[in-house]
Amino acid sequence: MSRALITGASKGIGKAIAWELASQKKCNLLLIARSEGLLKETAKALSETFGIEVDYLAIDLAAHGAARKVLEWTSQKTYQIDILVNNAGYGLSGPFDKYSLEENTQMMEVNMVVPVQLCQLFLPMLQSRPKSYILNIASSAAYQAVPYLSVYAATKSFILSYSRGLRQELRHSGVSVTAISPGSTDTDFVVRAQIGPKGVKTAQKVNMTAQAVALIAVKSMFAGKAEVITGLINKVGAFMVWLMPKALVEKTAMKLYE
Ligand SMILES: NC(=O)c1ccc[n+]([C@@H]2O[C@H](COP(=O)([O-])OP(=O)(O)OC[C@H]3O[C@@H](n4cnc5c(N)ncnc54)[C@H](OP(=O)(O)O)[C@@H]3O)[C@@H](O)[C@H]2O)c1
């Protein structure tokens, strides 16, 4: 039976992806995040609702060696996975130097270093299966520079570019790589990112639900899509960004986050 490992599965989009995989495919699940209580609650609800095996690991992915610890945990428990979902991530809004070196570095670790490390560490296992999937969660912020969310947007451009490159490298293997770019989604993202009232108000006008994003993400992954922007508004937004002068796009975005 299929088994998926999902990072950032304690809430938001990651939790919704877990529910989607359980309801659509009856996948067994491995849930990763920091909040042990939320993971335990989600694991119990999923296994009782769908009769699947669900285990969890509470770990801070920003901590040194976290990706290796995730692999060691799966090895100790003799879990084999055929779906890897790199969803854990967060933003920090405001001036670049509002945050310490450690804070910006930890965000880069969680948003881009750990996803790459997990892909590398789990690739042999994924390649040993007849068909397997990597689902990386990028963002609509991947398509432009976002002043006052500069580091976050750059980590998402990285993930998008990395996912597309890896997908081509693996095109003759059984491993399919999909990048999903959600736009504003109604989760705790804005709280951790410390988005101000202007940004929150704009987000609320176009917010999608985590469930809607998860449905698109899981469908796209199984369909073997390379890259999907969730929702029509976000698709149009990315097209406008491509069409318009970069400085104009950046100044418009800047007003939301300064
Ligand atoms: N919401 C949006 O508007 C939006 C838009 C575009 C892209 N995204 C992307 O979607 C993904 C999911 O975000 P979300 O919107 O669902 O936000 P969320 O509700 O804040 O969920 C973030 C998830 O990541 C986990 N996480 C954060 N830091 C972690 C760490 N150091 N170690 C382990 N787990 C960690 C959180 O769990 P714990 O707190 O329990 O550790 C949580 O499960 C992120 O990659 C985000 O960049 C979100």
To test the pocket of ligand 1, the residue of 6, 34, 35, 113 to mutate (highest count of ligand atoms within 8 Å of its CB) is 34
Mutational test site, ligand 1, from 6, 7, 13, max ligand atoms within 8 Å of CB: 13
140 Cα nearest atom in ligand 1: 6
Tell me which residue range forms the domain holding 29. Answer: 3-257
In the numeric block, the tokens 């692999």 are attached to 71
Question: What is the pLDDT, as a whole number, of residue 231?
Answer: 95
Q: Which atom of ligand 1 is nearest to the CA of 109?
A: 31
Q: Of 90, 110, 137, 216, which is best to mutate to test ligand 1, by the most ligand atoms within 8 angstroms of its C-beta? A: 90
How much distance in Å is there from the Cα of 11 to the middle of ligand 1? Answer: 8
pLDDT the model gives residue 175 = 98
Whether 99 sits among the annotated catalytic residues: the reply is no
CATH of the domain at 119: 3.40.50.720
Q: Which of 56, 90, 133, 152 is catalytic?
A: 152
* pLDDT the model gives residue 55: 98
Phi, psi (rounded to 5 degrees) for 219: -60, -45
Three-state SS letters, 134-180? EEEECCHHHHCCCCCCHHHHHHHHHHHHHHHHHHHHCCCCCEEEEEE
The answer, yes or no, to whether any atom of ligand 1 lies below 6 A from the CB of 93, is no
Number of Cβ within 10 Å of residue 25's Cβ equals 16
Asked whether 62 lines ligand 1 (CB < 6 A), one says yes
pLDDT at residue 144 in the model = 97
What's the CA dihedral at 42, 43, 46, 50 to 10 degrees?
180
Task: Say if residues 48 and 19 touch (Cβ distance below 8 Å).
Answer: no
pLDDT for res 22: 98
Q: Are 44 and 29 in contact (CB under 8 A)?
A: no
Ligand 1 atom with the shortest distance to the CA of 16: 16
Say if CB 42 and CB 18 are below 8 A apart.
Answer: yes
> Which value, to the nearest 10 degrees, does the dihedral of the CA atoms of residues 64, 66, 67, 71 take?
130
Res 207: pLDDT: 94
Domain total for the chain? Answer: 1
pLDDT at residue 203, rounded to an integer: 87
pLDDT of residue 94: 95
Contact 66, 115 (CB under 8 A): no
What does pLDDT average to in each consecutive run of 10 residues of the chain (258 residues)? 96 98 97 98 98 98 98 98 98 96 98 98 98 98 97 98 98 97 96 91 92 98 98 95 96 90
Q: Determine the Cα–Cα distance for residues 256 and 152; give it in Å rounded to an integer.
A: 15
Q: Report how far residue 194's alpha carbon sits from residue 199's, in angstroms, rounded to the nearest whole number.
A: 10
So what's the pLDDT on residue 98? 96
